Structure 1
Amino acid sequence: MIVSVGLLVIVAVTTTDAGYVPYNLGKINVAVYKPVNQSSTIWDSDPSFVVDRNTQTCSYAHEAHNWWYVDLEADYPVGEINVLGCCDSHKRGYNISVNIGLSLDNLTEVAFWPGPIGKTEQTINFPNTKTRYVKIVSKKYYGSIDLCDVKVMAYIEHISYYKPTNQSSQYGGYASYKGVDQLDYPVFYSGGCFQTLKAETNWWYVDLEAIYPVWQIQVINRDDSFADRAKNITVMMGDSLDTLTQQAYWAGPLGVYTHVTFPDAIPARYVKLVQRANDYFHLCEVRVLTNRVITLVDGSKTWYGE
């Protein structure tokens, strides 16, 4: 069994045919496409496979003192971590410790299990804790770590989900609402991306329907040979479409995942992305997050905004 700070729950993973894990509404997986590292790699694996949302791609570390970690690139109120191993048949991954913290030099263990890690997702729950780094360590000297998926779930408000949207033009069926439909796979033909026609200037915006303190904006780009179209993008925000001001600029071309954080939070109702690239404009998801204090299901408050 897993010994954790909170309730231990072991659940089976549901995947689509492509191997992607469906999005968990109400919580946000803040580890997706974030910077990662591990102690060693073999078999042409890569530590980024663990956060690519594809459970069929895995990373393997088989040297002494093995570890893997993800840098969330900001402090999030994390209360749940899900770990999926590689194979039931090989039975690798013993004496596994899961650690969190605000720096790699000051981590706290929140779970430990003797292992092995198998192809059943292990869910670790614990009180919401400010977290930037999640590190998984094998305490067995020559203990291997084989990981296919790690989800770090943060309880923050996703305020752009299915809100009204618009864009400068539309290519085929790739409408503006697809930027906030929660289908954030970086595969254009999955049907979850918006795209405009080719033009010198294109734009897309979302109406949050109220003024929120915007703390972070995350975008998911398509991951194929046309990904480099997403460039020269200005991020604008304001209370009305007539009073928008520039808050960020991405020269690009954008990778699969890009974000901008506003530590003091900027009050805004509209978030508009303007592309000046004389090209098509497409993204697969735009997440607008707020850091105001929210009430969780158990009645407790997050520390955000306090």
Structure 2
Amino acid sequence: MPDAETQRKLIEILRILSESTDEMGARKIAEEMNRRGYNLGERAVRYHLRMLDERGFTRKHGYLGRVLTATGEEELNQALVTDRIGFVSTRIKEIELMITYDPATNTGDVAVNICYIPKDRFEEALKTIKSVIAAGYAISPKIKIADEGEEILENDVPPGSVAFASTCSITLDGVLLKYGIPVNLKYGGILRVQDGQVRRFTDVIDYSGTSINPMSVFTSRKMTSVNQVIETGTGGVLANVREIPIAAVDKAQQLMDQMKAAEFLGVVSRCEPVRPLLGVPIELGKCGIVEYSGINPFAAFGELGIKTRILPLAAVMNIRDLKKLE
């Protein structure tokens, strides 16, 4: 009998298949599971699909595709599935605890986002990600690139594709926690930039009340204008807001200065006890930190019409595996 966590994953896969109008393969299911807060690579999804096949809940259809059976539909209707509201926050906390990065030595594991693009758009994408990093709207100049047939975080890069891994802003939260500073990632949103100056948030989503990562919402709806900001100085970029206790400001600032020295450059504001901060509320007794999102380079891809498959907060990766773009 599968444990409770495996049961939740199996039911969620059944839910995904029931919501689809066509058969789905492991890659598409893995992408949707990630959007819903479950960190499963393609290999893990294939393992779970075999379990569902054995129980008669799914069956193969087409080339490596799966569909839901009548038995699977009945199982889904009867299953008690926990509401996903707030699950993204739980996933964030898990990743934060996995981060081992030490800014003083520039070693350890950082959180990363993954993006797959068509290989024939690689040169354009590479030029774009360089411009986003140079303009300061990414987290770090260090990325990882995996070609078709190679593996990235236990996922095979499909034929005709290239994968990018970028540093995720959650790395800062993991570092703060490691040094005993409580941190709460509050909002993700669109940050308005005008004439090169940060103004305010125009749209935000509270992480505690969503079942889908806010960065996925804003990129899928094409609400960013990262390239426009780089070219004209005006537009909207992705950013996050986190809160820490006012009593921890000095230590937090010291850590952020160390991260800046190690080329973590995405922090917009220092620890600000301002309420509201750039248009969003900050809890009494707390101060806010605004940081650009590591998804900004990938949002810029989409703005250019490059087909993207983005996996926010995919996993952790050793900082040594990320290379600085020259």
**What TM-score bracket applies, with the shorter chain setting the length?**
0.3 to 0.5
Output the TM-score relative to the length of structure 2. Answer: 0.31
| More contact order relative to length (CA 8 Å, sep ≥ 6) | 2
TM-score computed with the length of structure 1 as normaliser: 0.32
Per residue, is there more helix in 1 or in 2?
A: 2
The answer to which structure has the higher strand fraction is 1
